Amino acid sequence: MESEDEMNCSTKTNQLYEQPNRPQRGRRVRAHSSGYMPGLDGLRALAVFAVIAYHLNVSWAPGGLLGVTLFFVLSGYLITNILLKQWDGTGRIDLKDFWLRRARRLLPAVFVMLAGVMLWMMLWAPERLAALKGEALAAVFYISNWYLIFHQVSYFESFGPPSPLGHLWSLAVEEQFYVIWPLLLGLGLSRIRQRKWLTVGTIAVTLASAAAMALIYIPGQDPSRIYYGTDTRAFSLLVGAVLAMAWPSGKMAGELSGSKRWVLDGAGILGLLVVLLMIGKTNQYQAFLYQGGLLLFSVAAAVLVAVLAHPSSFLGRFFSWGPLRWLGECSYGIYLWHYPVIILTNPVVNTGGLDLSRTLWQIGLSIILAALSRYFIEDPIRYGRRRRGRRRTPVLQWWQRPLGVGAKISLSIMLMAVLLFITPACVADNSGNEGAGISAKAITENHEATEQTQTQNENANENENANENVNKQEDETQETEQKDNAVKGDTAGNDITVIGDSVMINVAPVLQERLKGVVVDAQLGRQMYQAPEIIAGLQKEGKLGKTVIIQLGTNGSFSEKQLKQTLDSLQGSPEILLINSRVPKPWEGEVNETLKRVAQTYPKTKLIDWYSTSKGHNDYFYSDGVHLTQAGVEAYGEMLINALSPK
């Protein structure tokens, strides 16, 4: 059985987000000294900054969410490596010790971050505090992913101020892996004599998880269920586990010959290129990711992990660069803090694009908070007070003595209980999403106005039908009114049909006032894949005009195929206008790029650029950054009128 010091070394230096043994000053860091693989810390730094780039909506890293998959592969490899090493040394897996060490490593930092976020909310946004209680409790028990699934909280398609705890789903997936995998691995090791069959079985489960993701995924619809699910994300963790079974760190040769070293680093460079290419070129709305792409990325990440873990790798030495390694050591805290910092410090509405200075200090603040958490909270609780020899120390009174580990953990739990359960009654009464509430009110008011206008139009049509004999004088009067409308900038709307979502509900009253006879079909939450059915219904009812305006994309992305299906269903329409989107969500760029690309291939189709029109106009939007104030409604309506006016 390993001694306590040896167990500390192997455990604390080989798990995701964990801080490795710090080498003594003046000594060169060598891979596998005391079991330490410094290159993997550099990989952690790459992973966490990919995630940060994604959450900052940086255009050159649309696939930054794949940084989470990198962490999963690392976790599967390192944890399985530890468990196999313990089994080979003792013939058993000490589950109690393993789980206690995970708790000591992970819980203190989470508690501190949660306490900080809840305290900030209590001081600056008390109306949102009660709504966060459920998410905070789910985070404490590491079930955030299933909490979000069962409460139908989309990772990609939610409006209003985002939750500062939305990123904790990935920690929940990992912790669930920490609970279940040691049990399954121990059972397999005890029942299966030949290790190769255990590896084959793990590969089979890995493929089953990836297949579940591909089968459950529906192109063009919100992928949050498969994105959050432990069952559909387990394959990335298991790919790392398979690597640990096939090539554990203890079997990596210390030195390799020239040709073998070139092959090793060549494989690592290839894996790194795949990782970087997918981070830079993919996004969360591509079907490719869910139909094998994430599995491919996981395999490439596993190849990269294997090379960086090897002591003879030149690539591993590059990733062992001091500053990069230090950031990797702090990556757990950086991951915990970066998202709340970004969410709580971003402006409510931002139409000006990325602010470089704000971005830099957000990243800097995240790193500072992570370092403070590591040195003052995590390390003292994790390692305890280090003995520095037998120096005589003065006898201290009880109030002068530093708190023990148990006391610190108890105080953390008490603090969390206070913040989670003891909140003013007024806070609970005002819970909810303020931004969404404002927008919902605005939408409701405009929707009521739309219905009222539609009722008036229907009554007018009935009266008009009752007058079967229309004389020449009335025709002349109508012609005169149309000319007057043209002078005022109004356009006849008898042959215009508008199909949209909640944004168009806002704009409908203006259009119906300025475009007499226009048909507006708008609905909350509508998406592009629903458009062909809506168009068929309007066509059947005789309400599809010669000019069709489509405003969809607010509620989520759509594929090029889905947009083309919509346009193909409008083959009889001589003019089609597509309106792009301004929405402070990751799919904004994907939606606008798809609209632009497809519009260029359809001769009858013209793109209306709301994104550029609204740039720099924060006053056009409510606090969700999507739905329109009165100024925004007027600007949107004027944009459409101008687009429809003959040149």
Domain spans in the chain, listed from the N-terminal domain onward? 4-21+31-385+403-427, 435-460+478-644
Averaged over 145-160, what is the pLDDT?
Answer: 74
The residue written with tokens 């012609």 in the block is 479
Q: How many CB atoms lie within 10 A of CB 578?
A: 24
Contact 338, 116 (CB under 8 A): no
Q: Are 90 and 2 in contact (CB under 8 A)?
A: yes
**Per-residue pLDDT, 536:** 95
Name the residues annotated as catalytic. 502, 624, 627
pLDDT of 211-220, one tens digit each?
999 999 988 7
For residue 131 the two structure tokens come to 């709504």
Residue 340, C-beta contacts closer than 8 angstroms, at least 6 positions apart: 113, 116, 117, 120, 164, 165
Highest mean pLDDT of the ranges 231-245, 255-269, 483-497: 231-245
Sheet containing 519-522: which strands, arranged edge to edge? 519-522, 496-500, 547-551, 575-579, 605-608
CA dist 131 and 440 (Å) reads: 17
Q: Which residue has the tokens 């999403």?
A: 433
Q: How far apart are CA 607 and CA 370, in angstroms?
A: 45
Strand 519-522 relative to strand 575-579, pairing: unpaired
Look at residue 550 and tell me whether its pLDDT is greater than 90: yes
Range in 105-119, 329-343, 482-496, 631-645 with the lowest mean pLDDT: 482-496
- The model's pTM is 0.78
Q: Pick the more confident residue, 324 or 57.
A: 324
CATH 3.40.50.1110 is the classification of domain 435-460+478-644: yes
pLDDT of residue 449: 45
- Confidence tier at 354 by pLDDT (50, 70, 90): confident
Residue 69 tokens read as 């998959």
The H-or-E segment that residue 170 falls in is helix 169-191
